[in-house]
């Protein structure tokens, strides 16, 4: 039926056909919008795309191309506040790092990120509070703060919430500004990596030790690092691959 309608060139009939089965992700709305725009009916195309945004407002997943389509048209029309509004609504539903990044980008363009950030972080804090102890991995709040480069706020927020990946990222960003705190994180993670074997684990262990070395240098305690590394090498000396990787890294 679709091929037949396209052959006839009846755009209205094609729209009616697609409208019979609208995908909850908004993909069909986008398809209709693109057909209308190709037919030179830009206003109707945007109307359908906006309808898709509304129809999918409560859906956790929405076709990102539909969001991009609407926001691109708003931006072209000089409507930055409306772009922010679309991303704000999506962030409230998704509560993901990607949605946070998209909101930040839109709000910075519209020069209203400071206010939007306060509200977004408040929502993520509430989400982290509700999910405490029941989330797989650390909360989006920590990822958002790290993505902003806001390590001063991330340190107190991370306590009792962050997972190992987030702690390591926080330490990596804080070697110069919070060397003592970062060192404590590296040493804790090093202890956990003594048991796993294999090249991937060994490479990871070496990266942690390099981070710890940078922290000791910032603190002026290089001798303590040398003692720590000597002890670790003695403890794990039978792991030849690990020793080779440490040698290669200058450890």
Residue 11 lies inside a defined structural domain of this protein? no
Mean pLDDT of 75-93: 96
Residue pLDDT, tens place only, 174-219: 999 999 999 999 999 999 999 998 999 999 999 999 999 999 999 9
Q: How far apart are CA 187 and CA 134, in angstroms?
A: 26
pLDDT value for 155: 96
pLDDT value for 206: 96
**Does the pLDDT at position 134 exceed 50?**
no
Q: Which of 131, 136, 143, 135 is nearest to 173 (CA)?
A: 143
Residue 166 lies inside a defined structural domain of this protein? no
Residue 28 lies inside a defined structural domain of this protein? no
Of the listed ranges 127-131, 135-139, 225-229, the least confidently predicted one is 135-139
**Does the pLDDT at position 137 exceed 80?**
no
pLDDT value for 133: 44
Q: Would you state the torsion angle of the CA atoms of residues 119, 124, 129, 132, taken in this order, to the nearest 10 degrees?
A: 180
CB 18 within 8 A of CB 29: no
pLDDT value for 39: 92
Which carries the bigger pLDDT value, residue 164 or residue 2? 164
Mean pLDDT of 135-158: 91
pLDDT value for 7: 64
**pLDDT-based confidence at 60, cuts 50/70/90?**
confident
Residue 35 lies inside a defined structural domain of this protein? no
Structural tokens at position 110: 């519209």
Task: Report the first-to-last Cα separation within the chain, whole angstroms.
Answer: 68
Residue 205 lies inside a defined structural domain of this protein? yes
Mean pLDDT of 117-127: 95
**Dihedral sign from CA coordinates of 110, 115, 121, 122:** negative
How much of the chain, in percent, has pLDDT values that exceed 70? 95
What is the chain's mean pLDDT, rounded? 93
CB 64 within 8 A of CB 49: no
Residue 181 lies inside a defined structural domain of this protein? yes
Count of other CB atoms within 10 angstroms of residue 120:
23
**Does the pLDDT at position 138 exceed 50?**
yes
Residue 204 lies inside a defined structural domain of this protein? yes
Residue 29 lies inside a defined structural domain of this protein? no
Domain interval for residue 185: 174-251
**Does the pLDDT at position 8 exceed 90?**
no
Q: How far apart are CA 65 and CA 78, in angstroms?
A: 20
> Which string of DSSP letters, residue by residue, matches 132-178?
TTT-SS--HHHHHHHHHT-HHHHHHHHTTT--HHHHHHHHHHTTTTS
Residue pLDDT, tens place only, 13-28: 889 998 999 999 999 9
- The whole-model pTM stands at 0.87
What would you report as the CA-atom Rg of the chain, rounded to the nearest whole angstrom?
26
How many distinct structural domains can be found in the chain?
1
Q: Would you state the torsion angle of the CA atoms of residues 33, 38, 41, 43, taken in this order, to the nearest 10 degrees?
A: 50
Which carries the bigger pLDDT value, residue 62 or residue 9? 62
CB 103 within 8 A of CB 87: yes
């Amino acid at each position: 039926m679709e091929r037949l309608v396209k052959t006839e060139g009846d755009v209205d009939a094609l729209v009616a056909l697609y409208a019979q089965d609208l995908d909850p992700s908004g993909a069909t709305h986008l398809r209709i919008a693109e057909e209308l725009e190709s037919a030179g009916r830009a206003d109707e195309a945007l109307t359908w795309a906006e309808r898709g945004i509304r129809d999918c407002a409560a859906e956790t997943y929405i076709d990102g191309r539909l969001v991009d389509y609407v926001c691109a048209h708003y931006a072209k029309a000089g409507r930055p506040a409306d772009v922010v509004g679309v991303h704000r609504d999506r962030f409230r539903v998704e509560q993901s790092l990607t949605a946070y990044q998209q909101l930040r980008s839109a709000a910075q363009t519209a020069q209203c990120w400071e206010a939007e950030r306060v509200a977004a972080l408040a929502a993520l804090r509430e989400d982290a509070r509700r999910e405490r102890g029941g989330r797989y991995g650390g909360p989006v709040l920590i990822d958002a703060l790290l993505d902003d480069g806001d390590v001063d706020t991330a340190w107190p927020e991370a306590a009792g919430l962050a997972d190992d990946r987030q702690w390591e990222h926080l330490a990596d960003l804080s070697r110069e500004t919070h060397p003592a705190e970062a060192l404590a994180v590296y040493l804790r993670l090093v202890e956990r990596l003594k048991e796993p074997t294999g090249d991937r684990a060994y490479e990871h262990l070496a990266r942690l030790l390099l981070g710890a070395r940078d922290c000791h240098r910032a603190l002026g305690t290089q001798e303590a690092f040398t003692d720590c590394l000597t002890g670790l090498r003695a403890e794990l000396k039978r792991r030849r691959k690990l020793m080779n990787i440490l040698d290669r890294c200058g450890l």
